[in-house]
Homo-oligomer: A and B are copies of this chain.
Amino acid sequence: MFKKVLIAEDMEDINKGVFSLLTELGVTQIDQVQYCDDAYLKIKRADLDSVPFDLVISDLSFIVDHRSQTYPSGQDLVAKLKTDFPNLKVIVYSVEDRLQAVRTLFNQHHIDAYVCKSRSGLKNLTQAISEIAQGNKFLSPEVSNAFSTENELEIDDYDISLLDHLSKGLSQDEISALYRKENISPASLSSIEKRLNKLRIQFNAKNAIHLVAIVKDLGLI
């Protein structure tokens, strides 16, 4: 089990909750920070002093205030941590449930676990810690389909065009008619529905409005 753990989380109550959990799990050395920069400095310092951390549990979003930060978000922090300290285990603990975001964290930043803050967040966090201790990765059930082989995560020009037309206010019927006129295939309403359904699953969107909002945030359209 882990001996020395750092919690990076700006919300004090959540920070405390995670602290309690770690204590219950028998972790004795627990440090807590509310800024990403502090997290990096503490870990760097501990490493230089040859008393490195075993594990970091970090949030993604930190509210910005007067203190200017080198690492404004959890993404920036974990990216830097995993480059500088490859042996350090990293758990991201966040409300974020967009699959694309989760995928990026695993694929590009090589985090060890992703836990969604939710009703059963702490339970999942416990599980994540024990999995990681055994050298495994962990993925919260809420976003478990982020890596399902079913939905290949490719988004092609057709998808973009679809989302773009949707965001311009065209109904699925109108898009179908447009595609027929422009000889774009598939053009049937049914195919368009099917494709949008795939995209909704892929982006964890509840409905078309949510989907468009997500892909706009991602800058896809």
Which A residues have a C-beta under 8 Å from some C-beta of B?
Answer: 166-171, 205-210, 212-213, 216-217
Contact = CB atoms under 8 A, between A and B. Distances in A.
15 contacts: A166-B209, A167-B210, A167-B213, A168-B210, A168-B213, A169-B206, A169-B209, A170-B206, A171-B206, A171-B207, A209-B209, A209-B212, A213-B213, A213-B216, A216-B217
Nearest to A167: B213
Contacts of A212: 209, 212-213
Contacts of A170: 206
Q: In the assembly, how many copies of this chain are there? A: 2
Interface SS majority for chain A: helix
B205 A169 contact: yes
Contacts of A167: 209-210, 213
Contacts of A210: 167-169
Nearest to A221: B213
A219 B82 CA distance: 32
A171 B217 CA distance: 20
Nearest to A213: B167
A209 B208 contact: yes
Q: In this complex, which of A166, A205, A212 has the most chain B Cβ atoms within 10 angstroms of its Cβ?
A: A212
Nearest to A170: B206
A169 B214 CA distance: 10
A170 B208 CA distance: 11
Question: Top 10 A-B pairs ranked by shortest CB distance?
Answer: A169-B210, A169-B206, A167-B213, A216-B216, A209-B209, A209-B212, A166-B209, A208-B209, A169-B207, A212-B213
Contacts of A213: 167-169, 212-213, 216
A210 B217 CA distance: 15
